[in-house]
Structure 1
Amino acid sequence: MPLYSGLSVTRLHLMHLRNIVLLLLIPFVLLPRAMAASDPAGVNPSQAVASAHTQGKQEEQEKPGEEAEQQASYAALANILDDENSRADLIQQLRAAADGKQSDVTPQLAPGSDSQDDPPTLLDSITGVTRHYSGVVSNKLAVLHNTLTHAPQHRFNQGVFLQALSRFALLSGATFAFYFAARLVIAPLLRRVGHWGRKTHERYKSGVKAVLVLLGAFAAELGLLLAAVMVGQLLGQYLSDGSRVLARQQALFLNAFALMEFFKLLLRMIFCPGYPEIRRFPIGDQGARYWNNRLSLVSGFIGYSSMVVVPIIANQTSLQIAAVVNFMLMLGTTLYILLLIVRNKRVLQQELERLANRSLAFFSVFIRAFSLVWHWLAITYFVVLFFLTQFDPGNSLKFMVTATVKSLMMISIGALLSGLLTRWISRHISLSADMRRNYPQLQQRINVYVSGGLKICRILVVCSVILMLLDAWHLFDLGHWLTDDVGARMVDALLRIAIIMFFSVLGWTLLASLIENRLATDAHGRPQPSARTRTLLTLFRNALSVIISTITIMIILSEIGVNIAPLLAGAGALGLAVSFGSQTLVKDVITGVFIQFENGMNTGDLVTIGDVTGVVERMTIRSVGVRQDTGAYHIIPYSSITTFANFVRGIGSFVANYDVSRNENIDKVNTILREAVSELMQKPDIGPLVIGEPNFGGVVGLTNQAFTVRVSFTTQALKQWTVRFALDGLVKNHFEAAGIKPPYQAVQVINNSDAPDADPSSAAGSHILPSS
């Protein structure tokens, strides 16, 4: 080959020998990393073999382990050769070693720096996960194969076996007898306490005492379980008689007894077959007994067979026989459970639907979703349990039972907390009458804030339960995530956001309440704010809400890692562009500000703006809303207002002109007019509305048929029409009583009968036609 041209044969053989040695040393260098990557957390396959042998067979147990390590090293080398980048690095390093160049770089399982710069694609991630778990499964199968083929046989001693069996039966029988007898003793007490909790719940409509009763029953039964374990340990020390084999078998039983009976205790707290008074779930007595008995039977059979029977058979006979027994027991149990699931699929789904219909809306969503997939989850659970118990019966069952117990406890606690939060969300906080009068919107705001905060807490509870469930099943390392930089930063950001929101809401509530207190009706004699003050305070409250919301959003964005500097710069540029494109809007705002400071108009004023006359109903920073007496509502921008009239500025006035016939006496007319005005001023509902004395102008107009008299009034603001309408009625009555007539229009018809060409039939007299 060209690579080896010019080298001697001896040097060529030496290089080949060195390359072969490097290839053989690479797996042993990478062995710890490969074993760490292939060993899943929480499962130790070697413990199953170690637990099945006695302490005198340690050397025989090391042989399968060495072969497993060799196979793992071969798998690690295969992983290096399977990856293109790591394979290229390995070839390059080997060629450098062949050329006599020294390299400090050790061949690594991970790709080189070039591949680390490029982010992995989705296909690469899926391939890596598939390769990882396929390697885990292959290693597990290899360990199981080596255990079955190379496990030593044990000599069966019938006498020792019968002696151990008798003591084991005595220990288990005494432990179970003590535990069941203690449960029978406290059964009446639990029923009585449960009946008290049920009556209290029905009387006060509160589930707190019923939950406390359930927790008390759980604590009582847990105490009995601990007492039974202690009795079993004391009796086991007496029965073991110093034998390590007997002590180990008794320890296996006590561990299985504590774990499985605790799991059954949780089932009893869920279904409460013997204590319907304590049961918190709407399940009938027959259904509760059905599911509790079957689940307890199945769990106890799986637990005691995998954790006690199979290890004892492996210790007394061989691992092959123990594996066959374990396979047959688990296969039969799994088939029975699958048949039980398929048979009750429809019934349990209907029961869950009924439970969802009776539950709150928040819980009904989860219950309906669970009713659709519960059978798939149960089938997956027991199939996985079947396969795991074939690799490592004791440890895998402990892992599954522990994860199940944690899941049940987390779900129960999460459901309890969510239920309490849901009950509190539906309640309302009521303030005193004085507080509601002085701060009209405070109660509503507090209820909105409390309800929103409790809803956020409920969401956090659900998310926490989900994370803890994933951690319990080793699908997510919650502890590592919380101590990691990403998790710590996320938790810190959430806490900062919560603090920012709290102080923002608190500041807005305090400021808005102070403004509303200034605007509220005061029953203690405090003077009411003017219309200008009300308008300015309302505008200030609106501007304050916009400012606080904007600042809060900006701070939150900065806390979650968003750079707000470009946002601020973009907002400035956008504001400049908008200001050029919306000059009318800017003019509206500026004009509105000056109108407010000049106190030109306020809400409730009667104004005339252009050809629109009406009452001001709403004033914003850009426009004014005017309601006409016809009901029409006009929105008038401030920039279109050049002049306007306000009828509510201090006083009102009007001038009343009355026309009478030219034939009437002027003095008489003035006298009667003064009498009418005098009577008007004496009316209690009209007189106080007039400011000062009326001004009589005398005769102000004269025509061929009439003359005009005048009187003028100064009144309170917006009261001029009230006074004018009352005055017109009195003047009419007084003029009619005095015989003063209104002007008439005279039309004279001339008789032309004396004319030579006149028609005699058309001759007529002269008539005066009145005209009003």
Structure 2
Amino acid sequence: MPVFTRVSALSCRITYWRKAGALLLLGCLLVMPSLHAASLPYLSKLTAAAPATPAAPAAAAPSATNGNPPSPADEKAAYAALADILNNDAARTELIKQLRAAAQGQPSQAAPLLAPADEEKDTPTLLDSVTDITRFYSHAMAAKLNTLSKNITSAPQHTFNRAVFMLALSRFALLSVATFAFYFFCRWLVTPLLHRLGRWGHTANDKYKSGVKRISAVFGAFAVEMIILLAAVMLGQFLTEYLNADSRTIARQLSLFLNAFAVMELFKTLLRMIFCPRYPELRRLPMSDKSARYWNHRLSLVSGFIGYSAMVIVPIIANQINTQTAALVNFIIMLATTAYVLWLIVRNKRNIQKELEQFANRSLAFFSVFIRAFSLIWHWLAVAYFVMLFLLTQFDPGNSLKFMVTATVKSLMIISVGALISGLLTRWISRHITLSPDARRNYPQLQQRLNVYVSSALKICRVLVVFAVMLLLLDAWHLFNLRNWLTGDFGARIVDALLRIFIILIFSALGWTLLASIIENRLATDAHGRPQPSARTRTLLTLFRNALSVIISTITIMIILSEIGVNIAPLLAGAGALGLAISFGAQTLVKDVITGVFIQFENGMNTGDLVTIGDITGVVERMTIRSVGVRQDTGAYFIIPFSSITTFANFVRGIGSFVANYDVNRDEDIDRVNQALRDAVTELMSKEDIRPMVIGEPNFGGVVGLTNQSFTVRVSFTTQALKQWTVRFTLDGLVKNHFEAAGIRPPYQAVQIISAAATRNNVDEAANDGLPPPAPNA
């Protein structure tokens, strides 16, 4: 509806100067009563041309058409519309122009736009958000305090009827006595049963079974207590039908008691299940019987006093007497109880902290972190809890207490169930899967891989349990709406993404396990004694398994990134460009890879071969697509890139051979030396452990070397690969024994010493003979 219609309707409602200070424009129009009537034609004239202002609702339309005075809602809408116009400089200037034009009788050529111009909406900062939240809760607190003040100062008085009060009191006392008597009697009857449940939970010898039985015993005891509580509530409901005396007031008071009884005794049941003061066999907390009885008694007393006071006594006083007295009684009760609880917290702060730290030392590492953190802040949480309880019960004693008790019960149950599930997961994490001997022989790495998968999955589930417990706790205290979050778009997307990621990880793990197990089965011997594959096959299968792990891991990561909303197209393009840049800058690496591939396909060397690469001789321990690792007999481990290998020697290709040369004194008889050598070789070939290593017959070379002091005899052997050293070392020992037995002497170096006089005489004799002097013997 046009804004000036609303303004004219509003001006009809405002008399004289009452609203002149708040609305500047209407003040100018209402300078005197005579101008009030004169302004209406011009406003009506502008109304026909002025467009509607979005800020003002259309509820003011009837007041402009039929002349009826506007309602308060219409006034508020008109105020808001006019305030929006006056708050904007452009709209205010345009409004003044139209008003002046209307005052001068100038017709409007076009429909004026009096709606406020759109302003740029600034993004709210963190400070603005905090300010808005603080303002909201401040207004809410002020409203609560205002309501409380009205209840205390101006609450209606009730007529006190002594007869009705005494009748209600007698019926109330009869119901409470009967309900409590039945409840405590049933609890006394099941005492032997609870003791037997506790003893049954400690009978298992196995640690895992013992934990499950103890937890089952605790839940069984809780179920028994809940059945008794339900029976007591049902008895109370049955008695209420006969004790209400057809009075709604008495029936309401009896219902208040039953509600309080159900809520508070449920809370006390949870306390008894936690502390188990009378049944130490069921207690899960590591505390003494004295401490358990102390805290159970104190907390039960405080909770019962608060609950029955706020949920029964205060409402009855408010109904029978007045609200002021009820509010005063509630304030005194809650103040005294809060002061007592704060005194308990301060008094037991250090003791509880020490007990929690000791409990953390005995707990598993996962729970120890949470227990230690809780030991540092437990007193602050307890103080905040009871201070909040005190404040809330001052505004709405019954409902606020129900909320606090319900939230507390939910929190205890959530934490208990979460701790139970986390404890079971932790126990399962420490357990291992054991396969049969045949499965372990055929698939050597399968058992270890399955244990890693199960352990990782259980750890992830344990983290999810902790996260779920936190969300449920926030939901229990109405700080977070879990249902709306799960059914909303954001929560549904997160849950859907988590499920998809879980399925992707499962299929990736299954695929990798299947392929790796097939490769490992080819690398291992089976139960029927199948021989191991060749070294070349083992090397190629190992490289293929490593390549598969890289490929599957890369594909899995890419799919997971795409599932969580990451656009992997730029990532793939960047990876391609990066790979191209790396290929230009890492030519040596490319050369290593290509050379390694050809060496593998040519079966040049394999793991376990004895090779000589350059000046390095050793056993090949590890081969990758880029390098080879060689272990020398000294223990040194060398990593040699394939690109640096030009030539290499492999000692395990086909056969092995060696040539044995033995030097003897030149004065020995050749036939006797050869015969001793043949005897040594004959003894060597007669050895059962040496003969299979020798291929064919040895080859005797006879005399192959002659010097002034010795001559050399030779024999050569062809052996199996890598067996030449064993045969050579054995032969050397036998030759030494046979040479010594035959008296064959080894060569030695002779040195002749000639005196100077003898040398001079020899020179003179040579001069006399005209012959050159003989050369001295070396």
Please report the TM-score for the alignment, with normalisation by the length of structure 1.
0.83
* SS class of match (1:636): strand
Q: Are 1:252 and 2:256 an aligned pair? A: yes
SS in 2 for 1:753: helix
Q: Are 1:487 and 2:495 counterparts?
A: no
Question: Partner of 2:761 in structure 1?
Answer: 753
- Counterpart among 644, 649, 655 of residue 653 in structure 2: 649
Report the counterpart of residue 461 of structure 1 in structure 2. 465
**Offset at residue 561 of structure 1 (A):** 1.0
Q: Which residue of 2 aligns with 1:411?
A: 415
Question: Distance in 1 between the 2:36 and 2:203 partners?
Answer: 99
**Cα gap change, 1:29/1:732 in structure 2, threshold over 3 Å: closer, same or farther?**
farther
1:296-315 residue pairs with structure 2 within 5 A?
A: 296-315=300-319
Provide the rounded CA distance (Å) in 2 between the counterparts of 1:462 and 1:224. Answer: 33
Give 5+ residue unaligned stretches, structure 1: 31-69, 760-764
In 2, Cα distance between equivalents of 1:416 and 1:509: 32
1:539 maps to amino acid: L
Per the alignment, in what secondary structure is the counterpart of residue 603 of structure 1? coil
Q: Are residues 105 and 488 of structure 1, via their aligned partners in 2, closer, same or farther at CA, if it must alter by over 3 Å?
A: farther
Q: In structure 2, how many angstroms separate the alpha carbons of the residues matched to 1:81 and 1:520?
A: 89
Check conservation: 1:93, 1:103, Cα contact below 8 A.
no
- Kept in 1, the 8 Å contact 2:501–2:560? The answer is yes
Residue in 1 that maps onto 2:538: 534
Q: Which amino acid aligns with 1:304?
A: Y
Map residues 700-711 of structure 1 onto 2, 5 A cutoff. Answer: 700-701=704-705, 708-711=712-715
Structure 2 unmatched runs, 5+: 1-23, 61-71, 100-107, 768-772
Structure 1 pair 339–28 and aligned structure 2 pair: CA distance change class (3 A): farther
2:356–2:375 CA contact under 8 A, matched in 1: yes
Q: Report the counterpart of residue 372 of structure 1 in structure 2.
A: 376
Determine if the alignment matches structure 1 residue 177 to structure 2 residue 142. Answer: no
Aligned to 1:602: 606
Aligned-partner Cα distance in 2 for 1:279–1:98: 83
The one-letter code sitting in structure 2 at the alignment partner of 1:501 is L
Contact 2:442 2:527 in 1 (8 A): no
Residue 143, structure 1, aligned to residue 161, structure 2: no
Amino acid aligned to 2:528: H
Matched, 1:340 2:348: no
How far off is 1:628 after superposition?
2.3
After the TM superposition, which residues 45-124 of structure 1 pair with which residues of structure 2 at under 5 Å, given as runs?
88=88, 95=95, 114-115=120-121, 118-124=122-128
Residue 403 and residue 686 in structure 1: after superposition, are their counterparts in 2 closer, same or farther (change >3 A)? same
The answer on whether the counterparts of 1:437 and 1:520 sit within 8 Å (CA) in structure 2 is yes
The corresponding residue for 1:561 is: 565
Q: How does 1:181-330 map to 2 (within 5 A)?
A: 181-200=185-204, 206-330=210-334
Q: Partners in 1 of 2:247 and 2:535 — Cα distance?
A: 98
Rounded Cα–Cα distance in structure 1 between residues aligned with 2:678 and 2:132: 109
Counterpart of 1:395?
399
Letter of the aligned partner of 1:619 in structure 2? M
Partner of 1:691: 695
Deviation at 1:200, TM superposition (A): 4.3
Equivalent position of 1:627 in the other structure: 631
Matched residues in 2 for 1:515 and 1:649: separation? 25
Once residues 187 and 80 of structure 2 are traced to their aligned partners in structure 1, the CA distance between those partners, rounded to angstroms, is: 57
Answering whether residue 552 of structure 2 is matched by residue 548 of structure 1, we say yes
- The residue type equivalent to 1:389 in the other structure is T
Residue 768 of structure 1 deviates from its aligned partner by 11
Which one-letter code corresponds to 2:403 in the other structure?
A: F
Whole-Å Cα distance in 2 between the matches of residues 532 and 231 of structure 1?
84
Aligned to 1:503: 507
Question: Which whole-Å CA distance do the structure 1 matches of 2:78 and 2:482 have between them?
Answer: 32
SS of corresponding position for 2:617: strand
The question of whether the paired residues in 2 share the 8 Å contact of 1:15 and 1:98 is answered with: no
Alignment partner of 1:607: what SS?
strand
2:696 partner SS: coil
Return closer, same or farther for 1:634/1:81 CA change in 2, 3 Å cut-off: farther
SS at match of 1:198: coil
Cα deviation for residue 757 of structure 1 reads 7.9
1:428 aligns to 2:436 (yes or no) = no
- Cα contact 2:85–2:114 (8 A) shared by 1: no
| Counterpart-to-counterpart distance in 2, 1:722 and 1:609 | 23
Give the match for residue 720 of structure 1.
Answer: 724
After superposition, the C-alpha distances for 1:284-342 in whole angstroms (9 at most, x for unaligned) are 22222222222222212211221112222222222222222222222222222222222
Work out the CA distance in 1 between the residues paired with 2:332 and 2:761: 146
Aligned residue type for 1:654: F
CA distance in 1, matches of 2:79, 2:387: 31
On the 8 A contact 1:430/1:443 being kept in 2, the answer is yes
Other-structure match for 2:356: 352
* Deviations, residues 523-551 of structure 1 (Å, cap 9, x unaligned): 52211111111111222222222222211
One-letter amino acid of the structure 2 residue matched with residue 120 of structure 1: P
Distance of 1:707 and 1:400 partners within structure 2: 109
SS in 2 for 1:652: strand
CA 1:113/1:429 → structure 2, altered by over 3 Å: closer, same or farther? farther
- In the alignment, what sits opposite 2:587? 583
* Conserved? CA contact 1:86–1:112, under 8 Å: no
User: Residue 500 of structure 2 contacts residue 563 of structure 2 at CA under 8 Å; is this kept in 1?
Assistant: yes
**Match in the other structure for 2:8:** none
Alpha-carbon displacement from aligned partner over 1:326-382 (angstroms, at most 9, x marks no partner): 222222222222222222222222222222222222222222222222221111111
Mapped to 2, the partners of 1:391 and 1:103 lie a distance apart of 52
> Would you say 1:130 and 2:107 are equivalent positions?
no
* TM-aligned CA distance change 1:288 to 1:688, over 3 Å: closer
By how many angstroms is 1:651 displaced? 0.8
TM-aligned CA distance change 1:663 to 1:144, over 3 Å: closer
User: Given the two structures, how large is their TM-score scaled by the length of structure 2?
Assistant: 0.82
Indicate conservation of the 8 Å contact 1:662/1:706, yes or no: yes
CA deviation profile, 1:483-539 (whole Å, cap 9, x unmatched): 111111111111111222222222222222222222234452211111111111222
CA shift, 1:268, in A, is 1.5
Deviations 1:699-748 (A, max 9, x none): 55566666555433221112223333333444455555556666677888
**Percent identity (aligned):** 70
RMSD over aligned CA atoms reads: 4.1
Contact persistence 1:746–1:768 (CA under 8 A): no
| Comparing 279-288 and 143-152, the one that deviates more | 143-152
Q: Is the 8 A contact 1:85 1:112 kept in 2?
A: no
Look up the SS of the partner of 1:626 in the other structure. Answer: strand
Aligned to 1:43: none
Distance in 1, Cα, partners of 2:372 & 2:112: 63
For 2:68, the equivalent position in structure 1 comes to: none
- The 2-side partners of 1:195 and 1:695 are apart by 87
1:554-609 deviation digits (Å, cap 9, x = unpaired): 11111111111111111111111111111011101100110011000111211111
CA distance 1:399–1:746, change in 2 (3 Å): closer
TM superposition shift of 1:673: 4.4
Q: Tell me how far apart the structure 2 counterparts of residues 223 and 266 of structure 1 sit (CA, whole Å).
A: 14
Asked if the contact 2:29/2:36 (under 8 Å) is kept, the reply is: no
Report if aligned partners of 1:97, 1:103 keep a CA contact under 8 Å in 2. no
Question: How far apart in 2 are the matches of 1:335 and 1:249?
Answer: 29
Corresponding pairs, count: 716
